[in-house]
Amino acid sequence: MSGEKLTPSSGASSGSVDVVKGINGLDKVVLRDPRGSSAEVYLYGAHVTSWKNDHGEELLFVSNKAIFKPPKPIRGGIPICFPQFSNLGPLDGHGFARIRFWSIDNNPPPLQTNTSSMTFVDLILKPSEEDARVWPHSYEYRLRVALGPAGELSLTSRVRNTNADGKPFSFTFAYHTYFSVSDISEVRVEGLETLDYLDNLQHRERFTEQGDALTFESEVDKIYLSTPTKIAILDHEKKRTFVVRKEGLPDAVVWNPWDKKAKAMADFGDEEYKFMLCVEAASIEKPIALKPGEEWRGRLELSAVPSSYCSGQLDPHKVLHGI
């Protein structure tokens, strides 16, 4: 399969879509936009491990100690948490989708989105016997990973209940995105002020965020509820703002392990917490319920734009409100 060119149905003609061998011989799909941006997604976990802008700068964080060896999940990039977020249920943490081998879907059902200027690949996951023992449901999970003309990265998930026995099922979900930042102490997050959140460091007790933008000086692990469709992550040092746009994903997780937890993780460098921040588009508080034949769609779009200064501060309003 190495070096295979995909059929046109799996990628727009303007860019290139190739399957090559990645770390430890695992197959990965490389998307390249003609303007210079790129993305890489491993078939193991449908896991996006790279997203670069047109200058070749890496925008996602992947740990130097990440283990690309099934059945271990890959530390960094964009893991997919399905059908369970964290330990909120009977399955292993974050479910099984991120540690399964997905297939390239060369003939997916139509996705109502403008893909004429996009370079993309469609992947599919169906239940294995092993999965059915722990989560006894029939489903089809389709994922489209796409690069847009401005270098934006989008992930569109479609989960369909294909149970023949008439039974509904429900699940929780997250795109567990690790952003690469220059210095966590110089980063702030806009768009989550005044919202309620569940604090995972305090037994998921519910609190209300105060009025200011989020900044970071210690471990954080929060699930924000009923969040806006747009969140901005401002990296002062790089003068870069990440814009997270999401559909069908009402919650947002913000996570940084800080020093003690970083040292406790075998697949994470002791000092790497300084160079990453997870801001995750998610559906956690209210599980998504599907009857047979029903389909859920959840979309994430990431873009990176230069930050502008205003009165000595980065001005996120231009980003958040599209000014």
Residue-wise DSSP of 273-305: GGGEEEEEEEEEEEEEEE-TT-EEEEEEEEEEE
Contact (Cβ atoms closer than 8 angstroms) between residue 132 and residue 165: no
CA separation for the pair 213, 192 (Å, rounded): 7
CA separation for the pair 159, 157 (Å, rounded): 7
Mapped onto helix, strand or coil, the DSSP state of residue 133 is helix
CA separation for the pair 320, 323 (Å, rounded): 8
Max alpha carbon distance in the chain (Å)?
A: 61
Active site residues: 176, 280
Neighbours of 306 (CB within 10 A): 8
CA separation for the pair 84, 183 (Å, rounded): 31
Place of tokens 């990039």: 77
